Amino acid sequence: MQSAPVTPANDIETVARKGGKLRRMAVRIPTYMADIRENPAWLPMFLLARTLPGRRAHWLAARPSNGAIEGLPTIFADVDVETAVEALKREGLFASLALPAPVTEEIAAFASDTPCFGNFDRGIEFRAPDHRATEERLGRPILSGHHFERALDCPAVRAVQRDPLLSEIARRYLGAQARLITTRTWWSFPTRASEADRSLASLDKYHFDLDDWRMLKFFFYLVDVDSGTGPHVYVRGSHNKRRMKHQLTLLVGHPAAEIHEFYGKDSPLTLTGRAGTGFVEDPFGFHMGTVATQKPRLMMEVGFGVSKPSRRRFHAEPVLG
């Protein structure tokens, strides 16, 4: 039997099926182009902030925090700012934060009752308890559900967002220029998702974030998270140590074998915990969210950076091609 002739369409299908790296880049191209159009300064950051010399040069511009917000009331008990900042400098991670139970419960109830948007698509709107029914109705898997700007309708979300302890840690670590740039809540659902959907949701692939020259992200679990709920994984020490191969590529995602070989098999820390568990990380370090296999995961993120956030999209909402 003769094989089918090679056509451009066949080549495209082959790339789509086998070209994992190209596929991951293609998913993000519309977002990259939108970022460049809105802010041309984004491009040099995107190219240079992945290199340690480029980052270190930019860190030299960081102005020390003047400590103006130190000592203000906070909802976080027994957290020493200096200890947190030293852990971030050393390992890129501080994993000893906890939300009060009433705050956790209020946000979780809000996230359950408030419609979210599936797979970053504002055309797919549903409540988290209706996830399975929505998949059946649409005939497609739904891996994530983001609330986007609706998260700010929750008073408890705004209270966490504005808490002075988070701002103080960010200013001590990033410098006085630190500013709030992201606040979001989202669900990750157990489902059978394509690699493109997992890539868009930054799941099951070690990667680092390049949204700004300097960033810090606070994460909080709003449900109990164990190995079946899609726990977050962070590679300690990878925020200030980088293999040359990982600096001279446009890809931010890399296979687990590469990461474990260079940074050490003991460097990844899988973060599990009860509802309210929180941690803060330098997202230039390698990390990933794992795919939930048994129960949905609900998380909140509060992010700080040193550049202006996008005015056109809600806190880094992807542009879908």
Sheet containing strand 253-254, edge to edge, reads 253-254, 206-207, 287-289, 232-235, 268-271
Mean pLDDT of the chain: 87
pLDDT of 279 above 80: yes
Could you state, in order of their start, the residue ranges of all structural domains in the chain? 8-305
What is the pLDDT averaged over residues 199-223?
A: 87
Report pLDDT for 66. 77
The pLDDT-based confidence of 2 (bands split at 50, 70, 90) is: very low
Fold that domain 8-305 belongs to in CATH: Jelly Rolls (2.60.120)
What is the pLDDT averaged over residues 256-262?
A: 90
Report pLDDT for 211. 87
Helix (H, G, I), strand (E, B) or coil at 2: coil
pLDDT of 309 above 80: no
pLDDT tens-digit series, residues 223-240: 999 999 999 999 999 999
CA dist 158 and 97 (Å) reads 17
Greater confidence (71 vs 316) lies with: 71
Report pLDDT for 5. 34
pLDDT tens-digit series, residues 4-63: 333 333 333 333 333 455 666 667 778 778 878 888 888 889 889 999 999 999 988 888
Q: CB within 8 A of 35, min separation 6: which ones? A: 42, 46, 310
